[in-house]
Amino acid sequence: MYHFVWIPKYRHKDFMEPYRTTMKAIIKKIGYDYDIEIVELEIPEDHIHMVIRSIPKQSPSDVMQIVKSITAREFFRIYPEIKKKYFWGAKLWTQSYFVETIGNANKKQLENMFKISFESPRVCQRLNNLRNWNYEKIKSLYIRIS
């Protein structure tokens, strides 16, 4: 299993309703079409968290390439006004993303792992350095895993 985090270009806070629901539907359809089991998907305003289980021959970079390219194309097809207003470079996502392996954990194990990792100041500092995110904001996302 892999945990992915990625952000939109220019860090726009675009994922309010109805955009959030649309993006979730697009990602879930990609999962269905490409045999990627989406274990957890959370979309705050300005980034996406996704935990997946995929077939062994799919590398994390392949998964991210598939997800980013299809979501951008479909999202802009459905909402062309967003492309014109915020994404003048015609790209929805930045080139970067964060990925980590989390083994074959079940939901309870994921919850415990995230709880323990967010209690560690070193992990929190590393996440803050990677994405310049607020610790409490990140922690609140994982507390909602049920």
Q: How confident is the model over 100-118, as pLDDT tens digits?
A: 888 766 666 666 655 555 4
Side-chain-facing half-sphere of 41: CA atoms under 13 Å = 18
Note the pLDDT of residue 11. Answer: 76
For residue 58, give both structure tokens.
């799919």
- Closest by CA to 16, choosing from 98, 97, 82, 102, is 82
Cα distances from 143 to residues 8, 76, 89, 97, 111, in angstroms, run: 23, 31, 35, 22, 7
pTM: 0.69
User: Looking at the chain, how many residues does it have?
Assistant: 146
